[in-house]
Amino acid sequence: MRELSVRLLDNEAALRAARAEPSLTRTRLLQRAVVGGGAVVTGGVLLAGLPHVALAGRSAEQDVRILNLVLLLEELEAAFYEAAETRGKLRGELAEFARVVGEHERAHVAFVRKALGARAEPRPRFDFGDTTSTADRFAGTAAMLEDTGIAAYNGQAVNLTKPVLKAAATIVSVEARHAAWIRDIVGQPAAPDATDKPATERQVRAAVARTGFVKAAG
């Protein structure tokens, strides 16, 4: 944890390098990934069908951006389970699930927030509407949020510096456990595929926007 913060916040060389290219927009980064870069080309040869988009290069600056993306997801999940507990409509194992998983998500928020330090984006305001009002709606929403979390972490694995990847790996499998757990509670396939498909940042942000849960930045 401490190590992670230091890497992110004190790696002056990496930060300077990132600042030296202020005109590098995301589009250009993507173009770069598509047209060049040995690792990306090799990837195409080895595993042509598996989608993974490597951004230009791993850097502390890029870690900050990615960690803020997963922070949004963790905040969203934590707030959702909190809302469900407050609403008090869940019984039995679903109530236990909301309580246990809520605790985990709050721990993830604290972890990512601490790693980001002053560079963490403020917590948005959320409104979960009627998704916590019945067991079915809760379970469906929980499964969707957990599946999205897995896809987001998996999609960013190749873009993270190694210390942050190592930390992220300890979180993503817990999200996967949550996803399988809630799916099995409601009789959905717990592990429907041989691989969990990754999602890009754009896909993740679009998925979050579609939920309508995020009302405003902090």
Partner 1 sequence: MSHLTLEQFDRDGALREAGSRLPRKRFFALAAGGAAAVFGGLAAPARGATKGDVAILNYALVLEYLQAAFYTETERVAAVRGQAARAARVVGAVERAHVAAFSNLLGRKAVKRPAFDFKGTTEDQQAFLKTAVAFEDLAVAAYKGQAHLIESDAVLAAAVSIHSVEARHAAWMRHLFGIRPATSAFDEAKPKAEILRIVQSTGFVVAKRPRTRAQGGPRFTG
What is the binding site for partner 1 (CB under 8 A)? 39-40, 42-52, 54, 100-101, 103-105, 107-108, 111, 150, 153-154, 157-158, 162-163, 165-166, 169-181, 184-185, 189-191, 193-198
For the CB of residue 172, give the shortest distance to partner 1 in the complex, in Å. 6
Distance, in Å, from the CA atom of 5 to the CA atom of 18, rounded to the nearest integer, reads: 18
Distance, in Å, from the CA atom of 56 to the CA atom of 40, rounded to the nearest integer, reads: 10
For the CB of residue 52, give the shortest distance to partner 1 in the complex, in Å. 4
Nearer to partner 1, 136 or 184 (CB): 184
For the CB of residue 29, give the shortest distance to partner 1 in the complex, in Å. 14
Nearer to partner 1, 149 or 208 (CB): 149
Nearer to partner 1, 50 or 217 (CB): 50
Residue 7, classed as helix, strand or coil, is helix
For the CB of residue 112, give the shortest distance to partner 1 in the complex, in Å. 11
- From the list 1, 2, 215, the residue with the least C-alpha distance to 123 is 215
- From the list 142, 194, 196, the residue with the least C-alpha distance to 172 is 196
- From the list 170, 141, 147, 143, the residue with the least C-alpha distance to 157 is 170
Q: Which residue has the tokens 């469900």?
A: 84
Tally DSSP H helices, then E strands, for the chain.
Answer: 9, 2
Nearer to partner 1, 24 or 50 (CB): 50
Nearer to partner 1, 63 or 196 (CB): 196
Residue type, 209: A
Question: Using alpha carbons only, what angle is made at residue 76 by residues 70 and 81, rounded to the nearest 5 degrees?
Answer: 130
For the CB of residue 218, give the shortest distance to partner 1 in the complex, in Å. 23
